[in-house]
Structure 1
Amino acid sequence: MPLRGFGTVNFELMLLRRMHDHQPALVRAALKNLGKSATDLRAAHAQWQRGLRGGFPGGASRYRLALGRPAVVSSRLLPAVGELAIEAWPMPLWPGLQFQVTFGPGGDVVDERLARMPDGATPAIASVADLRPWLLVIDDLESTCSPVRYRMSAGTVASHAAAVFATPDGATCEAQFSWGLLQTAMAVDAGNQQAD
């Protein structure tokens, strides 16, 4: 099976493949830190894609096959949806973060992204200057800059997300995320934003 023994480092490489679209310099530094090459990154991504297309079990089984037993198992009840199961694995490349997968009542994946560990502190966000790549996750923005409006553009890959929000000092910003991790952010003219 292509995913058996995939492991955390290969999983991190797979995540880096999509981050390269936004932050090639940070990805190169991460590869050096891992002792891996761009070839290793492409191979891990291809292996993951083969696993996704290769008839492997869906839901939690896929991630357990690739990453082993989750470090965190919890649940959350949403009145309109039912009970959601949450499993997460630490990602050492991003200290304080974990890869969190949320499963619906039928076991289907409804969300998968990097998230802060439960005991992790959210970095302070006061202005655009605090929106530094690879420092913040989507939940950090939602807790400090709510409401956050998400946008999907044509051709956007599933692991990418764009968001529009206001920082506490009132600046309207647009940010790009990959796997839930902030990649880019900039202040924008609020008058040019289209209504959702």
Structure 2
Amino acid sequence: MTAPAPFGPREFQLVLLRRMADHQPALVEMARQELSASLAEMREANRRWQAMVRAPRGRGALRRYRSVLGQPESSACRTIGDLECDALLWPVPLWPDLRFEVMVAPGGAVWNEWLVRAPGAAGPELRTIEDLRPWSGTVDEVARAFAPARPVEGSAPTRWALAIDAPGSGESYVAEFTWGLFQRLLPG
């Protein structure tokens, strides 16, 4: 019996794609091919990730990310309200203008993990509802473009949603995100 291949950034990207496949199967298929990965490899990467997450004596979330993704590309101290945390960023080759961000509380607890725009990378121009295309923006970018956006409970642990209104018409929508990346727009 051979040992499984190391679980690294390529396999982690397959995990991100696996959850996105529920809403954007065509985009996921193209991205999977870009990674030269089979459906079986994507399923196996997800199975292994879930096993790491659920292992009774497994690593904590931060140690797991560091072991899979290596040292972060950058880190910064962030203040959110009266709380201070560290924001660690890793590159994600499938999305060169994005970074995988892990927000870490004092003491090492992971508060949040998702895709964000890379520092210095230009974000999308989101002026109208029609500008929202799958994988076009992050939670923060959509929230700013359609302020005042209201958080809505997501349908799974790696999903977020924002209630937004169309500029001008006032029509309500729910923007859904997976791992922080826009997936689809539903009537509100």
Q: How big is each residue's C-alpha offset from its partner over 1:37-59, in whole Å with a ceiling of 9 and x where there is no partner?
A: 11111110111111112222214
* Whole-Å separation in 2 of the counterparts to 1:20 and 1:152: 20
CA pair 3-181 structure 1, distance change in 2 beyond 3 A: farther
Alignment of 1:1-16 (within 5 A): 5-16=6-17
Name the counterpart of 1:75: 77
Provide the alpha-carbon RMSD of the alignment.
2.0
Greater Cα shift, 70-79 or 130-139 = 70-79
TM-score, with length taken from structure 1: 0.86
> Are 2:157 and 1:173 equivalent residues in the alignment?
no
* Whole-Å separation in 2 of the counterparts to 1:175 and 1:105: 31
Name the counterpart of 2:66: 64
* Whole-Å separation in 1 of the counterparts to 2:134 and 2:38: 21
The size of the alignment, in residue pairs, is: 184
One-letter amino acid matched to 1:57 = R
* Whole-Å separation in 1 of the counterparts to 2:68 and 2:103: 16
* Whole-Å separation in 2 of the counterparts to 1:4 and 1:72: 27
Runs of 4+ in 1 over 3 A off after TM superposition: 2-5, 167-171
Query: Residue 98 of structure 2 contacts residue 115 of structure 2 at CA under 8 Å; is this kept in 1?
Result: yes
One-letter amino acid matched to 2:164 = F
CA pair 3-39 structure 1, distance change in 2 beyond 3 A: closer
Query: Residue 102 of structure 1 contacts residue 110 of structure 1 at CA under 8 Å; is this kept in 2?
Result: yes
One-letter amino acid matched to 1:164 = A
TM-score, with length taken from structure 2: 0.90
Q: How big is each residue's C-alpha offset from its partner over 1:129-149, in whole Å with a ceiling of 9 and x where there is no partner?
A: 100001111111122212221
One-letter amino acid matched to 1:173 = Y
Unpaired stretches in structure 1, ≥5 consecutive residues: none
* Whole-Å separation in 2 of the counterparts to 1:78 and 1:14: 28
One-letter amino acid matched to 1:159 = T
